[in-house]
Structure 1
Amino acid sequence: MSAPARLAIVGGGPRALSILERLAARAAGVPGPVEIHLIDAVQVGCGRIWRTGQPDWYLMNTVAGEITAFSGPPDTGPARPGAGPSFAQWWDMTEPGHDHANDYAPRGLYGRYLLFLLDAIERHLPPSVTLHRLVATVTDLRKEGEGYCLTLDDGREIRVDRAALATGHARPRLSGHLRELQRFAESDPALRFIPGGSAADMPLSAVAPGSKAGVIGMGLTFYDVVAALTVGRGGRFTESRDGLVYLPSGNEPFLVAGSRSGFPQPARGRNQKPGGFLHRPVFFTEELVRAAAGSERLDMRRHLTPRLMAEVDFVHFTAVLRERSGAATAEEFAARVRAGGGRSIAELARHAVDFGLAGLPGLDFDTLALPFAGRTFADRAAFDKELLAAVDADVREAERGNVDSPVKAGLDVLRSLRWIIRELTDFGGLTPSSHRDDLIDWYAPRSAFLAAGPPLVRLRETRALIEAGVLRVIGPQARFAADAGAGRFTVTSPQVGGAREEVETVIDARIPAVDVRADTSALTRALLRRGLWSEFVNGGEFPTGGLAVSRSPFHPVRSDGRPEPGLHVLGIPTEHSRYFTQVVATGPAGWSEFMSDADDVAAHLLRPADLNTPRPLAIRG
């Protein structure tokens, strides 16, 4: 090629950097110049979510030793595409004298690591490759001949041959109950409604000290919001003989939190696993699930869930035996179970009986995720007593670790099984009704709640804040409503006697669900309007909200049902076409599914121009 191959990567976070890293690793073999535009609206190299300027109280929920942004481990040479330190190794180099493998880092620190990767990529680009870093918002993308024209928010236009989009979390248009709360806040200057999203982007400084604020949801964003309004207001935690104690600054609001469960998201177990550890499944494999289903299209509750729960219970039972009878007995049990090859789920129960575990119940997702379901409490004191006892129990299990605690060990397996669930469910692998009811509505929220929680310090902090009178959990089945008569929002729980609080502010501490049709981004609206993007509708029956994409290399599916061959999309916009896309790259050895996806996109971006033709779709529904 005499003219440069012109490429664009829209988005500057981990997905975008992984594509760039693989482009750089492959570019040495390309017979001609390559020009790459890396574009992000906030900070090129780490994006909005991981930007380096955010406060340190926003923590990651994966230990540093499990994360890498390089597609290969370090060697004797410098950090470069294909060979570089894991996040923990880099952290150790920047802060020597401490092993950070099992630490939870501030998000801004991970952003610095991503910038380290970006600098390493640029230093080692072949002479034929030019990289342009652009801080800008892409507001439009249209076809222009065999290529594309990108319009930036300052009016500039960039013409490219191909583009990859890794745009991350969207800011959707509000509807339903949330829109009602927003309208109520707009009717009175004394009220405020803060929509869901990243806590670092929320206008939390506008929440007045001493005021009352309701917090919807008690997941990961809840912990961020609470940290910003407590430690971020000058409060501090200190250890005492009785546990962690919170010392208020006086600048905090009074927080009233609520969710369906009435329980803050459980903590991750203290990490006891070496970097790169991956559970080797026995019962829950793609081959066994498909063999059991035969010619039927997969239904999650019938074909996946029984085997998935058997896998969880296998690890749970093994940990119980290790606790009761020692490592040798646990290893013997595990060996006998593995010898059966996982073909019969009933074998697990039979071996459990043989090893003295008759009657031991398996882990029940509904009970664990909704611990107060069906219960009523006479008053606030009765509920608080049960809540704190449950928090203490979770802290104890988390402190035992993700190997020694039978509960945390079993739940931690869910993280290792994500890739198998992807293989079985991505691209319309489930029937439309099972996709909606079983995967999206039932399994995904329970798995995320139980297996993707915060570091255990967050649970200890939550207890201390409740004891200090700064935080109140209203109770299960929390309801947030507008009370025009009182001129305030109300927060109530029907399961706790007298549980009612009036608040001036409501904060939605949840990450909005993916819905391309509700996305307020000018770029998303333009791509849908031009027919270059379309929503994935499973089986013609279930509009999922996610972007329809082909299988690798992940072309968006146009409104006419054909793939757009010069475009690629990775990450969160494709959620529901694919499963659990909101991850960072894990595995210190580097080569994970995350990297494999990026490499497939990079290879296609660099292919010869005469191969720029559509390929058959490989998407069901």
Structure 2
Amino acid sequence: MSRRRRSLVLVGAGPRATGLLERIAANAPSPYGFGGLDVHLVDPYPAGPGRIWRRAQSPLLWMNSMAEDVTLYTDDSVEIEGPVVPGPTLHEWAGIEGAAFADRRTQGGYLRWAYESAVEALPPGVAVHEHRRRALRVTGPRSGGVQEVWLEGVAEPLRADLVVLTLGHQDAEPDAEQRALSAHARRHGLTYLPPDYTADSDLSELAPGEPVLVRGFGLAFVDLMVLLTEGRGGRYDEHGRYLPSGREPVLYVGSRRGVPYHSKIGYQWSGQRPPLPRFFGPEQTEELRSRPVPPDFRRDVWPLVVKELGFAHYHRLFTARPESTTMDWAKFEERYARADPLGPGLDALVRSAVPEPADRLDLEALDRPLDGLRLDSFDALQERLRGHIDADLARRHDPGHDEDLAVFFALLSVYGQIMRLGDIGPWWHGFFSYLASGPPGPRLRQLRALSEAGIVRFLGADTTVTAVPDGFSARSATVPGHTVTARALVEARLPQPTADRVRDPLLRALFAEGAAATSDGLLAVRPEDGRVRYADGSTHARLFALGPHTDARGAGAFTRPRTNSPAFRQNDATARALLDAVRESARETGSGGRGRPAGLPEAPTTTERETTR
């Protein structure tokens, strides 16, 4: 084989790149034989933590997962071709309680350690080079040959045999409504903050004591709430009451649902797990993928989701609390398996076998708990929402209702199947996050305390915002006729880039050159290995992409142990595809083929930090 050094460029050096690098190290020793390999990581933020988990952010910001539920390492539940290489969870690495919610800077330390460990595990002859810069464009023939990665502020590109885009979540240019609201704010001296990562937002214009409209009730809102309360000197006493500093604005928060995301479940599983997948597994996924017309989510996929989540729920209820049911599990399961998931027969079966409505799984009520509710006063809404939070906290911390945890496991299983279907639209990801990726219980208790203190006030469901001469006006369907006007409006949600609004110049250039994009702006990739696809049906031979900016996005770059993580499966498949491509290139040049590609240097250039094995 040719001994010319090969070159791999990873654009984006956060946790997804770290996971991929770990899989490259795990798979590289055998059976992959090749000469030296230079791995270049391009990112303006630190390798390992990247932008989201960097240490340069407020220590008040937490993860929304327990420390024992965070790992970057494979275990024997992960279905991969490469070797399983166990490693510590966050709580084992940090020496903290498993049920603790670590701050993001601690997670950044874990990710940096994992990155350095992956570098250390690479075989001899592999050199890693960090470039603390932004990548602007990738050029090169789709069919093969040298790829060029152009960096900000550097005249010469990095030349590579292979490129992987591990870019993470993306910023977006404002849409038409956001542009209009921004223009309105400029004309009238108002404050408007468009969708952004809250840790990166300039909140200094939100004045103490002033009303602020907030649109969005997910994790971005929780960060905003923390930074504008504890971040401005407020604190909670030993009874959980909030003691204001006097520097807080008053937050009026609303959203489509009008309620916060469900609390993280606050107990551990015990006993028999539901045997998943049951109704939505690889067989059903392959059948959907084989259809000549892409499946419609609501018609073809959602019924399978409903059946799977319901199976997990009732399996746990019947096996752990049989006194709550009126039917033998075997009989129920047989009838459940035959029932149409969206038909009246399933509802009738559940009503006959599960007498108490609170013990039944009602996904519509879970998704939209305020639908149809009409209250005659704003104060009544505040009481109603505090009651909703109390009930959610009580149930999500009660192991007597651990059918909720069974549904959580089913959600993870379903997510792993859905990601193999490609673009199924954004609704599912929002639903999943609302049920399975909400804030820690302590954050919801803080939210309730802030409501009692008058710092946070709830607007209700189906909140709409309009521009008015003296500011912004919000109203909701929950309290008809009630409006709130403020001179500041914050969009507490992550940017949602489409192909024509994505801010990253590299992705913009790719889309302009014909890379395929989904309806919600995700880069299309081949599910098997992450190779980038084009609108003309071709696939790039040397360019790969992994992560939430692609239509094969997984549930996260790190995950719970023992959940057969889709992201880990992707990482392993892509790592092996990369190493196969490197080996094939070495064989071609070693047998008198192409030889060294013109312009590809023997050694890397423009490196700010190098680690050589």
The aligned residue for residue 605 of structure 1 is 578
Spell out the pairing of 1:25-36 with structure 2 (5 A cutoff): 25-29=26-30, 30-36=33-39
Please, what TM-score do these two structures have when normalized by structure 1? 0.83
Q: CA deviation at 1:295?
A: 6.7
Query: Is 1:211 aligned with 2:214?
Result: no
Query: Is 1:491 aligned with 2:494?
Result: no
Q: Aligned in 2, Cα 1:412/1:600: closer, same or farther, shift over 3 Å?
A: closer
The aligned residue for residue 201 of structure 1 is 200
CA RMSD of aligned residues (A): 3.3
Q: How many residues align?
A: 570
The aligned residue for residue 442 of structure 2 is 457
Query: Is 1:283 aligned with 2:291?
Result: no
The aligned residue for residue 432 of structure 1 is none
Taking only the aligned residue pairs, the percentage that are identical comes to 29
Report Cα offsets for 1:564-614 as digits up to 9, x if no partner: 11010011111xx33x5351322435963212211222222222558469x
Query: Is 1:232 aligned with 2:225?
Result: no
For residue 180 of structure 1, give the secondary structure of its aligned residue in structure 2.
Answer: helix
**Matches of 2:152 and 2:25 in 1, distance apart?**
28
The aligned residue for residue 117 of structure 2 is 120
Q: Aligned in 2, Cα 1:253/1:587: closer, same or farther, shift over 3 Å?
A: closer
Q: Aligned in 2, Cα 1:169/1:224: closer, same or farther, shift over 3 Å?
A: same
Q: Aligned partner of 2:181: which letter?
A: L
Q: CA deviation at 1:2?
A: 1.8
Match of 1:410 among 376, 386, 407: 407
**Matches of 2:320 and 2:269 in 1, distance apart?**
17
Q: Aligned in 2, Cα 1:2/1:270: closer, same or farther, shift over 3 Å?
A: same
For residue 580 of structure 2, give the secondary structure of its aligned residue in structure 1.
Answer: coil
Query: Is 1:12 aligned with 2:5?
Result: no
For residue 119 of structure 1, give the secondary structure of its aligned residue in structure 2.
Answer: helix
Query: Is 1:553 aligned with 2:553?
Result: no
**Matches of 1:179 and 1:495 in 2, distance apart?**
28
Query: Is 1:523 aligned with 2:506?
Result: yes
Spell out the pairing of 1:364-379 with structure 2 (5 A cutoff): 364-379=362-377
The aligned residue for residue 593 of structure 2 is none
Q: Aligned in 2, Cα 1:376/1:45: closer, same or farther, shift over 3 Å?
A: same
User: Contact conserved, 1:318 with 1:333, CA < 8 A, in 2?
Assistant: no
**Matches of 1:207 and 1:527 in 2, distance apart?**
38
Deviates more, 1:380-389 or 1:489-498: 489-498
Spell out the pairing of 1:497-516 with structure 2 (5 A cutoff): 497=480, 499-516=482-499
**Matches of 1:193 and 1:454 in 2, distance apart?**
25
User: Contact conserved, 1:185 with 1:191, CA < 8 A, in 2?
Assistant: yes
Unaligned runs of 5+ in 1: 74-79, 429-434, 537-542, 614-621
For residue 566 of structure 1, give the secondary structure of its aligned residue in structure 2.
Answer: strand
Q: Aligned partner of 2:229: which letter?
A: T
Q: Aligned in 2, Cα 1:316/1:253: closer, same or farther, shift over 3 Å?
A: same
**Matches of 1:216 and 1:312 in 2, distance apart?**
30
For residue 415 of structure 1, give the secondary structure of its aligned residue in structure 2.
Answer: helix
Match of 2:456 among 454, 468, 471: 471
Q: Aligned in 2, Cα 1:279/1:15: closer, same or farther, shift over 3 Å?
A: farther
For residue 556 of structure 1, give the secondary structure of its aligned residue in structure 2.
Answer: strand
Q: CA deviation at 1:174?
A: 0.8
**Matches of 1:276 and 1:13 in 2, distance apart?**
36
**Matches of 1:186 and 1:473 in 2, distance apart?**
27
Report Cα offsets for 1:448-490 as digits up to 9, x if no partner: 2122211111221111101101111122221222212x2x122
Q: 4+ runs of 1 displaced by more than 6 Å? A: 274-278, 289-296, 346-351, 358-361
Q: Aligned partner of 2:227: which letter?
A: A
**Matches of 1:474 and 1:316 in 2, distance apart?**
32
User: Contact conserved, 1:7 with 1:35, CA < 8 A, in 2?
Assistant: yes
For residue 501 of structure 1, give the secondary structure of its aligned residue in structure 2.
Answer: strand
The aligned residue for residue 177 of structure 1 is 177
User: Contact conserved, 1:369 with 1:446, CA < 8 A, in 2?
Assistant: yes
The aligned residue for residue 141 of structure 1 is 138
**Matches of 1:213 and 1:11 in 2, distance apart?**
35
Report Cα offsets for 1:82-127 as digits up to 9, x if no partner: 34212221122xx4xxx32x22222221111110111112223322
Q: CA deviation at 1:10?
A: 0.8
Q: CA deviation at 1:207?
A: 2.2
**Matches of 1:310 and 1:529 in 2, distance apart?**
41
**Matches of 1:223 and 1:163 in 2, distance apart?**
36
Q: CA deviation at 1:365?
A: 2.6
User: Contact conserved, 1:70 with 1:117, CA < 8 A, in 2?
Assistant: no
User: Contact conserved, 1:10 with 1:165, CA < 8 A, in 2?
Assistant: yes
Q: Aligned in 2, Cα 1:338/1:103: closer, same or farther, shift over 3 Å?
A: farther
Q: Aligned partner of 2:211: which letter?
A: K
For residue 237 of structure 2, give the secondary structure of its aligned residue in structure 1.
Answer: strand
**Matches of 1:124 and 1:407 in 2, distance apart?**
39
Report Cα offsets for 1:526-566 as digits up to 9, x if no partner: 222334x2313xxxxxx342212122211111343211110
Match of 1:270 among 256, 266, 270: 266
Q: Aligned partner of 1:58: which letter?
A: L
User: Contact conserved, 2:193 with 2:491, CA < 8 A, in 1?
Assistant: yes
Report Cα offsets for 1:148-183 as digits up to 9, x if no partner: 111111225211111110101111111122221111
User: Contact conserved, 2:67 with 2:91, CA < 8 A, in 1?
Assistant: yes
**Matches of 1:498 and 1:382 in 2, distance apart?**
14
**Matches of 1:130 and 1:276 in 2, distance apart?**
46
- Which structure carries more relative contact order (alpha carbon 8 Å, separation 6+)? 2
The aligned residue for residue 602 of structure 2 is none
The aligned residue for residue 84 of structure 1 is 87
For residue 474 of structure 1, give the secondary structure of its aligned residue in structure 2.
Answer: strand
The aligned residue for residue 586 of structure 1 is 559
Q: CA deviation at 1:278?
A: 7.7
**Matches of 1:588 and 1:289 in 2, distance apart?**
24
Q: Aligned partner of 1:397: which letter?
A: R
Report Cα offsets for 1:499-552 as digits up to 9, x if no partner: 322222211111122423210111112222334x2313xxxxxx3422121222
The aligned residue for residue 517 of structure 2 is 535
Spell out the pairing of 1:393-408 with structure 2 (5 A cutoff): 393-401=391-399, 404-407=401-404
User: Contact conserved, 1:289 with 1:304, CA < 8 A, in 2?
Assistant: no
For residue 204 of structure 2, give the secondary structure of its aligned residue in structure 1.
Answer: helix
Deviates more, 1:359-368 or 1:544-553: 359-368
User: Contact conserved, 1:213 with 1:504, CA < 8 A, in 2?
Assistant: yes
**Matches of 2:75 and 2:402 in 1, distance apart?**
32
The aligned residue for residue 111 of structure 1 is 108
The aligned residue for residue 71 of structure 2 is 68
Report Cα offsets for 1:425-464 as digits up to 9, x if no partner: 32x6xxxxxx45xxx34x4433321222111112211111
Q: CA deviation at 1:233?
A: 0.9
Q: CA deviation at 1:369?
A: 2.2
Q: CA deviation at 1:129?
A: 0.6
Q: Aligned in 2, Cα 1:307/1:89: closer, same or farther, shift over 3 Å?
A: same
Q: Aligned partner of 2:484: which letter?
A: E
Please, what TM-score do these two structures have when normalized by structure 2? 0.84
Deviates more, 1:517-526 or 1:277-286: 277-286
**Matches of 1:305 and 1:413 in 2, distance apart?**
13
**Matches of 1:225 and 1:308 in 2, distance apart?**
33
Deviates more, 1:143-152 or 1:317-326: 317-326
**Matches of 1:535 and 1:128 in 2, distance apart?**
37
Q: Aligned partner of 2:154: which letter?
A: G
Deviates more, 1:286-295 or 1:56-65: 286-295
**Matches of 1:530 and 1:474 in 2, distance apart?**
44
For residue 206 of structure 1, give the secondary structure of its aligned residue in structure 2.
Answer: coil
The aligned residue for residue 301 of structure 1 is 298
Match of 1:252 among 248, 252, 257: 248
Q: Aligned in 2, Cα 1:103/1:334: closer, same or farther, shift over 3 Å?
A: farther
**Matches of 2:386 and 2:205 in 1, distance apart?**
30
Q: CA deviation at 1:6?
A: 0.6
Q: Aligned partner of 1:260: which letter?
A: R
For residue 546 of structure 1, give the secondary structure of its aligned residue in structure 2.
Answer: coil
**Matches of 2:484 and 2:335 in 1, distance apart?**
56
User: Contact conserved, 1:276 with 1:587, CA < 8 A, in 2?
Assistant: no
**Matches of 1:131 and 1:293 in 2, distance apart?**
38
